[in-house]
Amino acid sequence: MSTTHPPADAGAPGALPGSRTSITTVPALALHAVTRVFGTHTALDSVDLEVAPGEVHCILGENGAGKSTLCNIVFGALPPTSGEVCLAGEPFAPSSPSDALAHGVAMVHQHFSLVPTLTVEENLLLGRGRARLRPDRRGLVVRLAEIEETLGLHVDPRARVGTLSVGARQRVEIVKALLDRPRLLLLDEPTGVLGPDEIDGLLATCRRVAAAGTAVVLITHKLAEVMRVGDRATVLRAGRVVGTGPLAREHGGGRSVPAPSGPTGSEPSWRDEELLEAGDLVGLMVGRDVSSLDPLLAASVGVTRTRAAGAAPAHVARRTAVPDDTTPPVLAVHGLVVETPDGARRVDGVDLEVRPGEIVGIAGVEGNGQSELVAALSGALRPAAGTVRLDGQDVTRARPARRTALGLGVVPEDRHHEAVVAGLSVTTNLLLARLHRFRRFGLLDRRAMRAAAAELARRFDVRAASLDAPVSALSGGNQQKAVLARELSLEPLRCVVAAQPTRGLDLGAVDDVVAHLRATADAGVGVLVVSSELSELLVLCDHVHVAYRGALSAPVPTDAPDARERVAHLMTGAAA
């Protein structure tokens, strides 16, 4: 492995007697007035940031706040428009990710970059060992043992990546990033695809890596993780730093791994700064007072800390009339099986019922068949077996247009590819499914279309500079509101299937989406919500199924006091 060692050996555990003294003086990473402009959009606006060695620095912000841009600049994938990046005090302008790697900066991307058909060992050896003909397998074994000893990260080098669980794959990614003893480890939204237990493991790893002297930058929009693992946090909003500072230690024992000396060594310098609490962070992220948010939602993200588990108060506050079991279901799925072309069962015998006025949730780590289930319900995929009944009518093999005519609204998971036609105008997108109503002498009555679109936009609070502008010019939240406007204004509307309806939205927009779905259910429409955000499901739904390996668990009522624990437990694949 000696060939792959970067010059930056200072970050290696046990090899830094000299660098220990410099921790408080020289930050591992410093950004000075870094600006990045894309066209007319300023993604990063004069951002200053300092990350000390041995600390876990969380960068928070809603989608589009500039977190990923910042990551890409430090990792060499994008050059800054202006400003300076310093690595351990030296000016640092990586020309490419490989250049950044050579300087001791490693990054774990949100989406894995592993080859599933290769073994872990082969994946780890990929792209290295250019100095010799044969890859350095012995060196790798030594280094893996080292990593396991110091960081407790175990990977099986002989396992084929395709057979590993998501959490194990991410471990491989992290090990891959750590092989070269980086000075700085960037983690971009690492918890998005993980279950609760795997998230715990990841956060513990973060602490250990930081304890070994590496600076860890954790990019996320999940507050709970930040409060558990972070030493400091910087909040970005619309490309600007709106707040930074050390985090209040919410629960002293919350640090999953006691850090020997790394992070605590530099703590004294923070004493005079104000500590940030979870509530402060939400306020900074959203840019408005927390009290203006839906109280249930605010509670679910841990801002007010009124309800740690369950959603009993929410239920009482929300539902006026919960349908009883005798009401015929508006959406009934029986024994549904969806197979991939090569015969793998992605949805394996799903039974599901949604009654009018009821909100049913499907929780689960992504990739457990939820996408395929929604695709089968919306008519994009043809199931191999089973039936789907909408209001008593068999629509198992019906075209999307017929389902729509029968009153099925679908909010697709992939907004950019499935929900909207990004290049067409907002008006067109809102009315695409009902263009036939605007025909006049064979041509479209554009004035009537504009009026109808304006009315929809007003009702659903879609904010656009112009309804004739392409939908891609809208923010994610407004795009999603436009999709909701289109789907929830169907006539008739009997049932709504919403897949990941809040993904990538800021809290304000999440609030709107939740309110719309709730209002729809109150109007007697059956609502099925598929989401990986457990907190939202617990707040929103009457009961929650958990998807695991293509099958659904029995429903868990969200008003049960231990609902959160039961659902989280089911997400790991255990029986209830």
Query: Considering the complex, what minimum distance in angstroms separates the CB of residue 145 from another protein?
Result: 46
Q: Does 63 bind another protein (CB under 8 A)?
A: no
Query: Scanning the structure block, which residue is given the tokens 């001791």?
Result: 104
Tell me the number of residues near another protein by CB under 8 A. 50
What mask, x for binding another protein by CB under 8 A, covers residues 199 to 228? Answer: ------------------------------
Q: Does 447 bind another protein (CB under 8 A)?
A: no
Binding residue (CB under 8 A) for another protein from 129, 313, 349, 400: 400
Q: Does 399 bind another protein (CB under 8 A)?
A: yes
Q: Does 249 bind another protein (CB under 8 A)?
A: no
Query: Considering the complex, what minimum distance in angstroms separates the CB of residue 40 from another protein?
Result: 5
Picking from 498, 480, 512, 523, the residue whose alpha carbon sits closest to that of residue 297 is 512
Q: Does 242 bind another protein (CB under 8 A)?
A: no
Looking at residues 353 to 392 of the shown chain, list those that interact with another protein (rule: CB under 8 A).
378, 380
Query: Considering the complex, what minimum distance in angstroms separates the CB of residue 274 from another protein?
Result: 27
What mask, x for binding another protein by CB under 8 A, covers residues 498 to 517? Answer: ----------x---------
User: 373, 337 in Cβ contact below 8 A?
Assistant: no
Closer CB to another protein, 460 or 548, in the complex: 460
Distance of alpha carbon 49 from alpha carbon 60, whole angstroms: 13
Closer CB to another protein, 503 or 545, in the complex: 503
Closer CB to another protein, 384 or 398, in the complex: 398
Non-local CB neighbours of 375 within 8 Å, separated by 6+ positions = 338, 381
Characterize the bridge pairing of strands 543-548 and 359-363: parallel
Specify the DSSP class assigned to residue 17.
Answer: T
Any bridge partners for residue 409, and if so which? 496
Q: Does 401 bind another protein (CB under 8 A)?
A: yes
Picking from 335, 363, 337, 310, the residue whose alpha carbon sits closest to that of residue 555 is 363
Closer CB to another protein, 422 or 560, in the complex: 422
Picking from 526, 535, 525, 573, the residue whose alpha carbon sits closest to that of residue 553 is 573
Closer CB to another protein, 19 or 404, in the complex: 404
Closer CB to another protein, 380 or 560, in the complex: 380
Q: Does 475 bind another protein (CB under 8 A)?
A: yes
Any bridge partners for residue 495, and if so which? 408, 526
User: 106, 144 in Cβ contact below 8 A?
Assistant: no
Closer CB to another protein, 24 or 63, in the complex: 63
Looking at residues 411 to 440 of the shown chain, list those that interact with another protein (rule: CB under 8 A).
412, 414, 417-424, 428, 432-433, 435-436, 438-439
Query: Considering the complex, what minimum distance in angstroms separates the CB of residue 465 from another protein?
Result: 5
Count of CB atoms within 10 A of residue 102's CB? 16
Q: Does 443 bind another protein (CB under 8 A)?
A: yes
Query: Considering the complex, what minimum distance in angstroms separates the CB of residue 528 from another protein?
Result: 16
What mask, x for binding another protein by CB under 8 A, covers residues 273 to 302? Answer: --------------x---------------
Single-letter residue type at 340: T
The CA-CA-CA angle for residues 499, 473, 418, to 5°, reads 30
What mask, x for binding another protein by CB under 8 A, covers residues 28 to 47? Answer: -------x-xxxxxx--xx-
DSSP 429-476: HHHGGGGGGGEETTEE-HHHHHHHHHHHHHHTT---S-TTSBGGGS-H
Q: Does 404 bind another protein (CB under 8 A)?
A: yes
Closer CB to another protein, 252 or 442, in the complex: 442
Picking from 513, 449, 442, 430, the residue whose alpha carbon sits closest to that of residue 476 is 513
The CA-CA-CA angle for residues 377, 380, 386, to 5°, reads 45
Q: Does 69 bind another protein (CB under 8 A)?
A: no
Distance of alpha carbon 333 from alpha carbon 372, whole angstroms: 14
Query: Considering the complex, what minimum distance in angstroms separates the CB of residue 297 from another protein?
Result: 18
Query: Considering the complex, what minimum distance in angstroms separates the CB of residue 426 from another protein?
Result: 12
User: 485, 452 in Cβ contact below 8 A?
Assistant: no
Query: Considering the complex, what minimum distance in angstroms separates the CB of residue 226 from another protein?
Result: 23
Query: Considering the complex, what minimum distance in angstroms separates the CB of residue 39 from another protein?
Result: 5
Distance of alpha carbon 359 from alpha carbon 314, whole angstroms: 13
Burial class (CB in 10 A: 0-12, 13-18, 19+), 489: middle
Distance of alpha carbon 143 from alpha carbon 175, whole angstroms: 10
Any bridge partners for residue 29, and if so which? 51, 87
Any bridge partners for residue 529, and if so which? 361, 498
Specify the DSSP class assigned to residue 293.
Answer: S
Specify the DSSP class assigned to residue 119.
Answer: B
Query: Considering the complex, what minimum distance in angstroms separates the CB of residue 400 from another protein?
Result: 5
Q: Does 81 bind another protein (CB under 8 A)?
A: yes
Distance of alpha carbon 237 from alpha carbon 62, whole angstroms: 7
Q: Does 477 bind another protein (CB under 8 A)?
A: yes
Q: Does 238 bind another protein (CB under 8 A)?
A: yes
Q: Does 410 bind another protein (CB under 8 A)?
A: yes
Query: Considering the complex, what minimum distance in angstroms separates the CB of residue 509 from another protein?
Result: 9
Distance of alpha carbon 336 from alpha carbon 385, whole angstroms: 6
Q: Does 520 bind another protein (CB under 8 A)?
A: no
Query: Considering the complex, what minimum distance in angstroms separates the CB of residue 519 from another protein?
Result: 22
Closer CB to another protein, 100 or 430, in the complex: 430
Closer CB to another protein, 205 or 404, in the complex: 404
Which two three-digit tokens encode residue 536?
């939202």
Name the H helices within 26-165: 67-74, 97-102, 120-125, 137-151
Closer CB to another protein, 220 or 425, in the complex: 425
> What element of type H or E holds 536?
helix 534-540
List residues near another protein by CB under 8 A: 35, 37-42, 45-46, 81-82, 238-239, 287, 378, 380, 399-401, 404, 410, 412, 414, 417-424, 428, 432-433, 435-436, 438-439, 442-444, 446, 463-465, 474-475, 477-478, 508
